[in-house]
Amino acid sequence: MKALAELYLQEIKTGVASMLQYRATLVIWLIGNVLEPLIYLVVWTTVARSTGGSVGGYGVLDFAAYYIVLMLVNQATFTWVMYEFDYRIREGTFSADLLHPVHPIHADIATNLSSKVVNLPFVVAAAAGLAAVFHPAFRFTPLAVAAFVPALVLAFLVRFLVDWTVALAAFWTTRVTAINQIHYMAVLFFSGQIAPLTVLPRPLQVVANVLPFRWTVGFPVELLLGRLTRAQILTGFAAQAAWLLAGALLVRVAWRVSVRRYSAVGA
């Protein structure tokens, strides 16, 4: 465990140093992370105003609170591993990863954490700016705040394991853009990023409860905003624990099967 902790620390330091070398890319990435929830916020506040001030139990100020918190949660849980996995295999750089004495997933997790170290302070500043403009209706409770941190950690782990499993499709086909796009749209729709899940029709809410995506974004957001009962909070943690176990099992099985097919296309 000590060696693994040292590995994570070194990978995070290396990742932070690498990202700071590409400041323009970092700025563009941050703008994208802020603009997407901002667009949804403007759309749904406009809809709420045009329908009497409330949609799906959310008023104008509630939508502001929802999307500002969502921006922070999405930044804390987002992964990009699916979008670079096929490149690593195509170019042959994954061969070096396979020579390391630890599972490659550890380096990917550490690299992802390093991006959060760099990006999160700027996203927090952007959230503070949006709060000053939109005056969100935050209703934090001690229970919600206390439960939010473990919920956020579990959300990140579940999201990473699911995304890493999807990324393994690159072992079967070197062009995974279509697969990534389908997965991205499913996450966008069923996690609560396009709209709070209470806005969706009841059948789609049921589907969202079954899939892992709600528990990686929507659940932590709703939890912190105090929109869940104690029973719903416990259900959410149970769902996260179940998907964490399922994700770990999926990674274990999919990795064993997929790595046997590995052949570097590049040098």
Tell me: the pLDDT tens digits for 113-131?
888 888 888 889 999 999 9
188-230 pLDDT, tens digit each: 999 999 999 999 899 999 999 999 999 999 999 999 999 999 9
25 confidence band (pLDDT: 50, 70, 90):
low
Tokens of 182: 């389908």
- pLDDT at position 55 is 87
CA separation for the pair 158, 212 (Å, rounded): 8
Asked whether the predicted pLDDT for residue 79 surpasses 60, the reply is yes
28-53 pLDDT, tens digit each: 777 877 888 889 999 998 988 888 77
Tokens of 163: 């995304």
- pLDDT at position 22 is 67
- pLDDT at position 122 is 87
Asked whether the predicted pLDDT for residue 265 surpasses 60, the reply is no
- pLDDT at position 172 is 84
- pLDDT at position 121 is 85
CA 191 to chain centre: 9
- pLDDT at position 161 is 96
Exposure letters 194-221 (e unless 16+ CB within 10 A, then b): bbbbebbeeeeeebbbebbbbbbbbbbb
* Rounded mean pLDDT, 97-106: 83
Tokens of 133: 């403009």
* Rounded mean pLDDT, 248-266: 82
CA separation for the pair 93, 266 (Å, rounded): 8
Exposure letters 127-157 (e unless 16+ CB within 10 A, then b): beebeeebebeeeeeeebeebbeebbebbbb
Domain extents in the chain: 2-259
- Secondary structure string (H, E, C) spanning the chain: CHHHHHHHHHHHHHHHHHHCCCHHHHHHHHHHHHHHHHHHHHHHHHHHHHCCCEECCEEHHHHHHHHHHHHHHHHHHCCCHHHHHHHHHHCCCHHHHHCCCCCHHHHHHHHHHHHHHHHHHHHHHHHHHHHHHHCCCCCCCHHHHHHHHHHHHHHHHHHHHHHHHHHHHHHCCCCCHHHHHHHHHHHHHHCCCCCCHHHCCHHHHHHHHHCCHHHHCHHHHHHHCCCCCHHHHHHHHHHHHHHHHHHHHHHHHHHHHHHCCCCCCCC
Asked whether the predicted pLDDT for residue 264 surpasses 60, the reply is no
* Rounded mean pLDDT, 18-36: 74
* Rounded mean pLDDT, 13-17: 76
Asked whether the predicted pLDDT for residue 235 surpasses 60, the reply is yes
- pLDDT at position 23 is 67
Rg over alpha carbons for the chain, rounded to the nearest Å, is: 19
| pLDDT greater at residue 87 or residue 227 | 227
- pLDDT at position 1 is 67
- pLDDT at position 82 is 85
- The pLDDT mean for the chain works out to 88
